[in-house]
Amino acid sequence: MRKLLEKLPKAELHLHLRGAIPVEVFASLLNKYDVTAILEGNSYRTSGMFERYGNIRPFLSSRNWSVEEVSRLFQYENFDQFLATYHFTSYFIRDTSDLKKLITGVLEDLRAQNVVYAEITISVIEYIQQGIPLPVILTCLEQATDFPGIRVQWIVDLVRNIGHEAALKLLRQIIALDRRSVVGITLGGSEHLFPPAPFENVYAAARDHGLRLTVHAGEALGPESIWDALRVLKVERIGHGVRAIEDPDLVAYLVEHRIPLEICPTSNLCTGVFSSYEAHPLKALFDAGVPIAISTDDPTFFGTALVDEYMHVRDMGVSDSDILEILKNSFRHAFLPDEEIEKYVHRLLTIHTSLAPTVFGSIPVSQAPLSC
């Protein structure tokens, strides 16, 4: 089954650019910079936050690190340690060549996994804070659309922690630059401190400009956050949304209105939303009829990859034919024109039929030529 999943064309709809940084790419950036100099004045550094954690501590002094040594940075025991590590890595993408190296590394990695379509989330503000101007960032994103062998579109995370007024200002700057590779927006960050509803104007402005809408909700907070995302922000998809399971009326709404959840099982365990794969509600949501797409969120930081996630879904008791449905969903709910979605689904089914006609049963496909 793993071999089959590796060969099938797949889509990633919920993947953060820096969360997918290949270890080799981070090792080269770590070796490029003087760590002491770039962390000068950093509040985590001055408060001793980085020194506190054994996985980060060795990397606070510069030397030539091997990839194997750097891989230990991404091993931690608790959520605070993960947050500190995520924050630590943000200081090493400081100019255009770093950003291009990051994007290229992530796309090569996805392509090697047979991910043929990806909507990658980028928090542009963190690169702006390191000194890369917004127009330059967006040009890098635009250039990535020419990368061979994988189709990529970008979702900008406006980062809810900057507040709704700053988020609206940032959105207007992005809209003014009018780059077609940016297909939609989301909000990541602290759902507790910055719930969805105050961002109504931000989402209205994005919708008016033709941008597609998703948001992280129902991860740290419960169903009320998802209801606000649907009724106030009027989103088309929910990032995570797994706590919808706590409200049967919400589950029924998601089913009736065909609102997909972008579910990232390992992420939900790493961030403490659920204690184990057995306790994860994915199967219950799927069995209730909620559209589900599987993604990895921050695969480097969570020690996972897309096929690993599908294997976890299988271990949760989802049948092989239902896994094929979920594979299809990841294309069906992409922010793409219908005709492109149809081509991707057709390509998936054709390759699946040729590789495993007996695994999922016989699935009829037309004989139309493939073109994506």
Q: Which chain residues interact with Zn ion by CB under 5 A? A: 297
Q: Are 280 and 320 in contact (CB under 8 A)?
A: no
Output 35 or 225, the one with its CB closest to Zn ion.
225
Output 119 or 297, the one with its CB closest to Zn ion.
297
CB closest to Zn ion, residue no: 297
One-letter amino acid at 136 equals V
Output 297 or 309, the one with its CB closest to Zn ion.
297
Output 269 or 348, the one with its CB closest to Zn ion.
269
Please name the helix (run of DSSP H) or strand (run of DSSP E) that holds residue 138, with its range, or none: helix 134-144
Output 19 or 324, the one with its CB closest to Zn ion.
19
| DSSP string computed for 291-354 | -EEE--BSHHHHT--HHHHHHHHHHTT--HHHHHHHHHHHHHTSSS-HHHHHHHHHHHHHHHHH
In whole angstroms, the minimum distance from the beta carbon of 102 to Zn ion comes to: 17
Q: Which two tokens stand for residue 321?
A: 């034919």
> At CA 361, angle to CA 332 and CA 289, rounded to 5?
40
- Taking the C-alpha atoms of residue 229 and residue 121, their distance in angstroms, rounded to an integer, is 18
In whole angstroms, the minimum distance from the beta carbon of 219 to Zn ion comes to: 8
In whole angstroms, the minimum distance from the beta carbon of 211 to Zn ion comes to: 18
In whole angstroms, the minimum distance from the beta carbon of 287 to Zn ion comes to: 24
In whole angstroms, the minimum distance from the beta carbon of 90 to Zn ion comes to: 15
Reduced to 3 states, what is the DSSP secondary structure of residue 196?
coil
Output 80 or 249, the one with its CB closest to Zn ion.
80
In whole angstroms, the minimum distance from the beta carbon of 10 to Zn ion comes to: 18
Q: Are 218 and 238 in contact (CB under 8 A)?
A: yes
- Taking the C-alpha atoms of residue 365 and residue 355, their distance in angstroms, rounded to an integer, is 14
Q: Are 94 and 18 in contact (CB under 8 A)?
A: no
In whole angstroms, the minimum distance from the beta carbon of 152 to Zn ion comes to: 17
Q: In terms of DSSP bridges, do strands 261-263 and 10-16 run parallel, antiparallel, or are they unpaired?
A: unpaired
Output 126 or 297, the one with its CB closest to Zn ion.
297
In whole angstroms, the minimum distance from the beta carbon of 120 to Zn ion comes to: 11
In whole angstroms, the minimum distance from the beta carbon of 157 to Zn ion comes to: 8
Strand partners, 157: 186
User: How far does CA 34 lie from the centroid of its chain?
Assistant: 30
Output 109 or 298, the one with its CB closest to Zn ion.
298
Output 228 or 297, the one with its CB closest to Zn ion.
297
Please name the helix (run of DSSP H) or strand (run of DSSP E) that holds residue 242, with its range, or none: none
In whole angstroms, the minimum distance from the beta carbon of 344 to Zn ion comes to: 22
Reduced to 3 states, what is the DSSP secondary structure of residue 49?
helix
Q: In terms of DSSP bridges, do strands 182-186 and 212-217 run parallel, antiparallel, or are they unpaired?
A: parallel
Task: Tell me the helix, strand and coil percentages in the chain, rounded to 5.
Answer: 55, 10, 35
Output 27 or 195, the one with its CB closest to Zn ion.
195
Q: CB neighbours (10 Å) of residue 13?
A: 27
Q: How far is CA 158 from CA 7, 100, 203, in A?
A: 34, 21, 11
